[in-house]
A and B are shown apart, each in its own frame.
Chain A
Amino acid sequence: MSQNWTVRAEGLSKKFGRSLKNSMRYGLMDSLTQLTGRRVAGEELREGEFWAVKDVSFELNRGDSLGVMGVNGSGKSTLLRLLTGVYRPDVGRVSLRGTTGALIAAGAGFAPMLTGRENIFVNGALLGMPRATIEKRIDEIIAFAELEGFLDMPVKNYSSGMVVRLGFAIAAMSEPEILIVDEVLAVGDVNFQKKCYDYLFRLKRSGTTIILVSHSVGAVWAVCDRAIFMDRGEVLVSGAVEDVIRAYDDQNARAAKIAAHKVDDLSRKRLGDQPPQSVAPALDLSEKESNFGVTCRDICVSGNDGDQRPDFLFGEDFIISATVDVTKPIDNFILRYVIDAAHYRNVCTIDSYECGYPLKNIEPGRYNFSVRIRNPNLRPGFYSLNVAAVSKDFGLHLFLAHKVASIVVRSPADRLFYSDPTAIFQLDAAFHSVKKDL
């Protein structure tokens, strides 16, 4: 253990009841136990409880910055509340050396009927700032929040962005030795965001230890040197920020795949036996029949070795194979796959005709079509496949099924994709620079 530590979390765990009923029951039981002078055992889960944070340990030194990442419900906020002393751990301990500031809810405690100016004093007091300090720095706060001309207006008439900007500006005037930040960097316009980052960078340079909780990969990458990736209360990955971002992205892609399948199942159940093709995907193709003589029986995605796999590394080749039953002769047959990304539909198509594989006519029989995708430039994420059979001579789809297979593209070890989680393609680009005198 370092002698230079500023934050030390040792085996932190916190549990909660899954339902309000459980929470109330255990709350009353525990309170009575404590009132009678007995200790409440926090180490064991009781029926209906779960670990919101489990056995989290880390140590930070002066000037370190730690990013905390994880999907919703992974325990990030609970961990933050443990670090700020809002929640008491059920197991373990956290030690903080130095003054601590928290940018958890910029604007918490604002009274809507009071003016911005009046609220500055209230909020400053909540953050532990003496009145004299607030008075001395009020002009800085106003300038930082970019609210000149609005300070004597009731806060209830502010936009939500103005409220958060004012809250951030007040908090930014404190200069703690440990700063805990929760998802407040996406506030305001670009200029204001830049100010927020500048504030964090300035604190970092001055040796402040920063703990930043964010879903924004870019924010964590910019501010933090190290990160932890939490899932269901536990630290799944801990280490250099880039490694953790990769793990986080991959987990997000896998989670999107699971969520998509769940939605599909529920849609199928809700819509009964005749799901519209645009909504309800039929992952199980075995019972899907076409009226036009073509039925796709199976789709699988495999690697170069031929083994079916759910995920692939960025840039890794993969093969899509389809088993297709044809019951009558078809001229100018075309098999087409359409890829959907998590946020967008039809991001690209793989069409047999476009790929230079015309099928003039096919006779009845069972066919296996496979297509190898070389050096795919799909960025890490979750993608689903739709399959269609068409004929140049037939206006409608001979066969169409949505979301018949899915793939997860994992982050490569040697590159970091942080710039935009919704971007889909990584073009094969090469940067080049030449210096010229100004």
Chain B
Amino acid sequence: MDKKITIYEADDGRLTVISAIRIALSDLHMSAPLIWRLFVRDFTAQFRQRIFGYFWVVLSPILSIAGYWFMAATGFLRPGAVGIPYVLFLYVGTSIWGLFITTMVTINGSVLANGDLLMRTSAPPIALALAGMANLVYTVLVNTIVLCLLLAVARFAPSPFILIYPLLLLPTLILGTGLGLVLASIGVIARDITTMAISGFGVLMFLTPVIYDAKFENLILATVVAFNPLTYLVSFPRDLSMLGNAQLWAGYLAGCGVAVLSLVFGVYCFYLVKDRMIERL
């Protein structure tokens, strides 16, 4: 008999970063149809029994824009000279930041939401963790379309780099995925870790040029902003796509490096503690 032999055995503690990445790629390749099917399931299910149906995807960002416009109109926020209409500045900044946070929350939430499947089927955990991400890709596309509509309403001519705007968000997505996997690995074992981490990232938003141009005179704050990779992952796509300004390219590249490293670390962490995670679901 030359049939496939599957062996499950006690952990030998020899998982390396390379082998973790290799297993993850193999798992994702094998379960691509499953991820797609789960995406369709979650996407379809979330719009059932709702009055606005699929229109909700567009309506949600439009409502948030209205909120930003109100804050700017009342003078509650004084962002300084941002170079582009403030509503656009806000919308792009919060979209990118929102993508980062939503990615982390989605990855962590997918593991918990699919706990039953993890306990009862042999579907690879990473496939179930990443299945929710398909929704994020859709969110990016919708955000881009809404951005184009906003540009038309504001009669602001963006740079030609607007065409690659979704691609410029990829490092943010990767960083969110990596950190999401780390959070999922630890967060399932100690549930409050995720809440603490997300709250921590809420503070970090104010040290990132999301809703205002974070140019602090305080040396410590300025240093934090300068060394914060999210500064570049948020500012560079916005500057490049709106103004054609690539001044922050070096920081953006460094941010991309950090994002890739976080993904590698996240995958490694996830596979390292996957078994303990499932036992505690």
Contact = CB atoms under 8 A, between A and B. Distances in A.
Given A87-B278, A97-B3, A126 B8 contact: no
Contacts of A94: 7-9
Interface string B19-41: 00000000000000110011011
A125 B9 contact: no
Contacts of B215: none
Given A39-B11, A95-B7, A126 B185 contact: no
A38 interface: yes
A24 interface: yes
Interface string B34-61: 1001101110110011000000000000
B84 interface: no
A105 to B, nearest CB: 4
B31 to A, nearest CB: 9
B48 A113 contact: yes
A118 B121 contact: no
Interface string A100-129: 101011001101011000110110011110
Contacts of A113: 44-45, 48-49
A195 interface: no
A40 B41 contact: no
Contacts of A126: 34, 37, 117, 121, 123
B269 A102 contact: no
A16 B122 CA distance: 21
A428 to B, nearest CB: 46
A118 B44 contact: yes
A81 B119 contact: yes
B74 interface: no
Contacts of B38: 122, 125
B217 interface: no
Contacts of B186: 28, 31
A23 B275 contact: no
Given A34-B13, A39-B11, A39-B12, A23 B123 contact: no
Nearest to B276: A27
Nearest to B35: A125
B4 interface: yes
B45 A108 contact: no
Contacts of A96: 5-7
B12 A31 contact: no
Nearest to B193: A28
A172 to B, nearest CB: 16
B189 interface: yes
B155 interface: no
A91 B9 CA distance: 7
- Which of B12, B119, B190 neighbours the largest number of chain A CB atoms within 10 Å of its CB? B119
A98 B4 CA distance: 5
A174 interface: no
Nearest to A90: B10
Contacts of B12: 39
A40 B11 contact: yes
B190 A28 contact: yes
A125 B34 contact: yes
A56 interface: no
B121 A85 contact: no
Contacts of B278: 86-87
Interface in B247-280: 269, 272-273, 275-276, 278-280
A190 B197 CA distance: 53
A426 interface: no
Nearest to A84: B122
A85 B8 contact: yes
Nearest to B185: A31
A40 B13 contact: yes
Contacts of B272: 31, 34-35
A87 B279 contact: yes
Contacts of A119: 41
B121 A109 contact: yes
Contacts of A90: 10
A227 interface: no
A42 interface: yes
- Which of A85, A95, A119, A122 neighbours the largest number of chain B CB atoms within 10 Å of its CB? A122
Nearest to A16: B279
Interface in A61-98: 81-98
A199 to B, nearest CB: 19
A177 interface: yes
A131 B37 CA distance: 10
B127 to A, nearest CB: 10
A99 interface: yes
B120 A114 contact: no
B117 A31 contact: no
A365 interface: no
A317 interface: no
Interface in B201-245: none
Contacts of A128: 34
A30 interface: yes
B13 A38 contact: yes
A167 B166 CA distance: 39
23 contacts: A24-B189, A27-B279, A34-B11, A34-B273, A37-B13, A38-B13, A42-B11, A86-B120, A86-B278, A92-B9, A93-B9, A93-B10, A98-B3, A98-B4, A111-B45, A113-B45, A114-B44, A121-B37, A122-B40, A122-B41, A125-B34, A125-B38, A130-B33
Given A90-B10, A95-B6, 19 more contacts: A24-B280, A28-B190, A85-B6, A86-B278, A87-B279, A88-B9, A88-B11, A88-B275, A92-B9, A93-B7, A93-B8, A94-B8, A97-B1, A97-B3, A100-B6, A109-B114, A109-B117, A113-B45, A114-B41
